[in-house]
Structure 1
Amino acid sequence: MIEESARALRAELLDVHRLRLVETAAPRLTPEERVAMNQVWDDLVRDNPSFFDGPVLVCAGTRREGPDELTVSWVRTTYRHFALRRVPFSTSWLPSFFVAVLQPADDGRLLVGRMSNSTAAPGRWQLPGGSLEPPEGDEPLDTRALHRHAARELIEETGVDTPADELTLWNVTRSGNGSIGVLFRAPSLPAARLRERFEAMAAAERAQGREPELDDIALIHSTARLPLLVGPHADHLEPIVRRYEVS
């Protein structure tokens, strides 16, 4: 995911526990936006060949349907679309739509990970997770699909293999740039097992000549520990950890 340096507001939790997902059409790019987007994307790929222009979903808007229900409109596009965030005159860019997983240890600490140098946000601390991808074939994008995607992100980034139906919808976050993240909570596991599974996953990835998406993990009790995580933090990490402390 390509980060945006401007247009930022404060990240927040939306206190949502029911979701309605609606596909909508993507905004039409002007010829000038398309040229600028392609140029930015080509420059980014030149600097980091691990970037790929695969299918991805973005958020076209949200609407409250009740005190704890949210409708999210989503659009099919490719990762190249995120380059529009670096085009100052663009009015067609859309924020990310992603899932993230709160993975507690059995002592109450929460797992956070640091993005590796092969990613678009090297050194950034965040929860395990990632941008949503379009459903396959005629499969709908519904909450069950989000559960499956969250479970896949968890095992790919941490080595923790939790069945999708054991993940619980926890909340929804809106990041400072408008990105929408659906948050799931996984069952607690012993801290030693979390570390062992992460290290085994990372070793297996490197044996295949691939850099794992997370190059380190940490277990934290509270927001008081966040300053000890050296490097940038995802803007939604602090409000999530603060709420987790009292949940």
Structure 2
Amino acid sequence: MTQPLPQPSVDVLDAVELRLVEAPPPQLSPEHQTARDRAWNKAVQAKPSLFDGPVVACTRLDQSEPHELALHWTRVTYRNYALRWVPGAAALPSLFVDVLQPTDDGALLAARMSSATAAPGRWQLPGGSVEPPDDGAPLDAAALRHNAARELLEEIGIDTPPDDLTLWAVTRGTNGNIGVHFMAPPQPAPVLNDRFTAVVSAAAAVGQTPELDQIALVHSPADLKSLHGPHVDYLEPIVDRYARILL
């Protein structure tokens, strides 16, 4: 008999306060640098849309107080993640933000990555990787909140003021990736569908492929089974926690 595969382990951490501390960039040996660049170039040849732009990676996550997290971060570029394919090397985990967008009746919006992305067909919450701030600008909880609000507007078409987003949880995924999850005010389901359709139509009108190509409204982890395609490791634990809080 075939045994089911074990479910990925994801830590879901309560966070009322989030403190971010910049750390020095990682130091790589010349051998690992060469292997990283070779792996990155190979990935770009397979998917030319990959872009080696600036991005934030995590160096450490501490929880000294029950509801206070200290997140240490550093500046890298996307090719840092090619180290995952280099034997003996370790890529620093990524930092991303996303938004739990509920409906008036308690459903939660999930979205599918389009064919133009690095993870086509993958279901997740609307959001994305965090980019480092300009020189002199802070990377703090307020900056992450603005980042999340921008992702929600760009991907779903919902223009929510950053101050209306509430820090809801922090997750640490199977690769150590850190997700900062914000809760948005509820929206009527028809509004979400109409705004998302407008985003997709606007992209098509200028010959572009949107970041997301489909949305779905789920009430519990059981609903995720009806979604065609894989989903990020944090999605089921987040949906489960959300559903339990509503009970």
Partner of 1:58: 57
* 1:1-247 paired onto structure 2 within 5 Å: 10-91=9-90, 93-247=91-245
Deviation (angstroms), 1:137: 3.0
8 Å Cα contact 1:9-1:177 kept in structure 2: no
1:44-85 deviation per Cα after TM superposition (whole angstroms, max 9, x unaligned) = 111111111111000101111201111000010111111111
Unaligned runs of 5+ in 2: 1-6
What is the Cα deviation at residue 9 of structure 1? Answer: 5.5
- Counterpart-to-counterpart distance in 2, 1:220 and 1:114: 13
Unpaired segments ≥5 residues, structure 1? 1-7
Partner of 1:5: none
Offset of residue 38 of structure 1: 0.8
Deviations 1:177-198 (A, max 9, x none): 1111110000100000000000
Query: How far apart are the structure 1 equivalents of 2:8 and 2:65?
Result: 24
Residues 102, 185 of structure 2: 8 Å contact kept: yes
Structure 2 letter corresponding to 1:157: E
Partner amino acid, structure 2, of 1:44? A
Distance in structure 2 (CA, Å) of the matches to 1:36 and 1:143:
35
Tell me, in whole angstroms, the C-alpha distance in 1 between the residues paired with 2:201 and 2:42.
31
The CA RMSD over aligned residues, in Å, is 1.2
> What is the deviation of 1:160?
1.1
- Report the TM-score when normalising by structure 2: 0.94
Percent identity of equivalent pairs:
55
Aligned to 2:4: none
Q: What letter matches 2:149 in structure 1? A: A
Given the two structures, how large is their TM-score scaled by the length of structure 1?
0.94
Q: Any idea what the Cα deviations from partners look like across 1:186-241, whole Å, max 9, x if unmatched?
A: 01000000000001001111212211111100000111101001111100001000
Q: What letter is aligned with 2:214?
A: D
Structure 1 CA distance for aligned equivalents of residues 199 and 86 of structure 2: 37
Distance, in Å, in 2 between the alignment partners of 1:99 and 1:158 is 15
Distance of 1:66 and 1:130 partners within structure 2: 27
Conserved in 2, the CA contact under 8 Å of 1:98 and 1:130?
Answer: yes
SS in 1 for 2:225: helix
| Cα distance in structure 1, aligned partners of 2:183 and 2:67 | 17
Deviation at 1:116, TM superposition (A): 0.7
Q: C-alpha distance in 2, partners of 1:55/1:19?
A: 22
User: Structure 1 residue 119: deviation in Å?
Assistant: 0.8
Partner of 1:107, secondary structure, is: coil
Counterpart of 1:151 in 2: which secondary structure?
helix
Alignment size in residue pairs? 239
